[in-house]
């Protein structure tokens, strides 16, 4: 199955600043997905990142707040911009894994635990 | 409408006992996949087990098994011989295979294994 390296694993940031989260996959993948998990909540899809095109954002998420880059088929970044305490969450990247999970599932990165103070 | 429902916010189980975590789902698609993930306090999401809607037998992966009751639209996770390391959040998820890549997650169940 795909292996995803996500960093940083955690960070504490000042409000008003920005943080860029990186995900590196050990194989080429068409789509990468970015999720947010607010404290005590389930996962919410932020956007889908395709190589060579603009990311597709879900309702409630905008590019100015969560710009995404996808420069190649193994790498993506998510930036959380102009942070406020409400952005304190775990952010996870994922890829569709067609090797181990019966062709239909997802593998996740290890997550970035962000605290905004 | 809620696609995945996990009605147990928290569960406790004695070490070495079995525990069942409930999950019901809602879909009109005939083709879908059901997943369980484990999230320890570190935050990573660990895939545990998968069940396809057309699979005739319940999925098993080591100490994990999925009690799939298609008519009742339930996909309960059974963990046998619980270990202290099983203490974590557990999320049930579904993917409608005919409607693209959307993945639906439940709200999770927090499992605590008591020594």
Chain centroid offset of residue B73 CA: 13
Q: Cα(A105)–Cα(B95) distance, rounded to whole angstroms?
A: 8
Q: What is the pLDDT of residues A50-97, one digit of tens each?
A: 888 889 999 999 999 999 999 999 999 999 999 999 999 999 999 987
Higher pLDDT among residues A87 and A106, named by residue: A87
Q: Is the peptide bond before A98 cis (omega within 30 degrees of 0)?
A: no
Q: Inspect the interface and report whether the beta carbons of A111 and B43 lie closer than 8 Å.
A: yes
Interface size between A and B, measured as CB pairs under 8 A: 59
Chain B residues inside the 8 Å CB shell of A33? 101, 103
Of A34, A40, A96, A42, which is closest to residue A61 (Cα–Cα)?
A34
Both tokens of B13, joined, read 């189980």
Q: Cα(B90)–Cα(B108) distance, rounded to whole angstroms?
A: 5
| Nearest C-alpha in A relative to B91 | A42
What pLDDT score does A21 carry?
98
> Does the structure show a pLDDT above 60 at A99?
no
> pLDDT averaged over chain A?
92
For residue A33, the distance in angstroms to the closest alpha carbon of chain B comes to 10
8 A C-beta contact, residue A79 and residue A93: no
Q: What is the pLDDT of residues B67-98, one digit of tens each?
A: 999 999 999 999 999 999 999 999 999 988 76
**Helix, strand or coil for residue A10?**
strand
Q: Inspect the interface and report whether the beta carbons of B45 and A33 lie closer than 8 Å.
A: no
What pLDDT score does B70 carry?
95
Helices (H) and strands (E) in chain B, counts: 0, 12
Beta-bridged to residue A18, according to DSSP, are none
Confidence of residue A103 (pLDDT cuts 50, 70, 90): low
Confidence of residue B55 (pLDDT cuts 50, 70, 90): confident
What pLDDT score does B102 carry?
75
**Helix, strand or coil for residue A112?**
strand
Confidence of residue B99 (pLDDT cuts 50, 70, 90): low
**Helix, strand or coil for residue B38?**
strand
8 A C-beta contact, residue B16 and residue B81: yes
For B69, the enclosing helix (H) or strand (E) is strand B64-69
What pLDDT score does A102 carry?
53
3-state SS of A17-70?
CCEEEEEEECCCCCEEEEEEECCCCCCEEEEEEECCCCCEECCCCCCCCCCEEE
């Amino acid at each position: 199955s795909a292996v995803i390296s996500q960093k940083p694993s955690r960070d504490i940031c000042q409000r008003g600043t920005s943080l860029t989260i990186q995900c590196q996959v050990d194989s080429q993948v068409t789509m990468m997905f970015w999720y947010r998990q607010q404290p005590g909540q389930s996962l919410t899809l932020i956007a889908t990142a395709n190589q060579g095109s603009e990311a597709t954002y879900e309702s409630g998420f905008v590019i100015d707040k969560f710009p995404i880059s996808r420069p190649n088929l193994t790498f993506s970044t998510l930036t959380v911009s102009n942070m406020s305490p409400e952005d304190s969450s775990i952010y996870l990247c994922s890829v569709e894994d067609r090797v181990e999970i019966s062709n239909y599932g997802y593998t996740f990165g290890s997550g970035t635990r962000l605290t905004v103070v | 409408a809620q696609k995945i429902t996990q009605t147990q916010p928290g569960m406790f189980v004695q070490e070495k006992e079995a525990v069942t975590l409930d999950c019901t789902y809602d879909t009109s698609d005939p083709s879908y996949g059901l997943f369980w993930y484990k999230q320890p306090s570190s935050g990573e999401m660990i895939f545990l087990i998968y069940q396809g809607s057309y699979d005739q037998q319940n999925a098993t992966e080591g100490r994990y098994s999925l009690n799939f009751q298609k008519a009742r639209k339930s996909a309960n996770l059974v963990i046998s011989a619980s270990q202290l390391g099983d203490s974590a959040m557990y999320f049930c998820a579904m993917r409608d295979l005919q409607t693209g890549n959307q993945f639906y997650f439940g709200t999770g169940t927090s499992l605590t294994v008591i020594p």
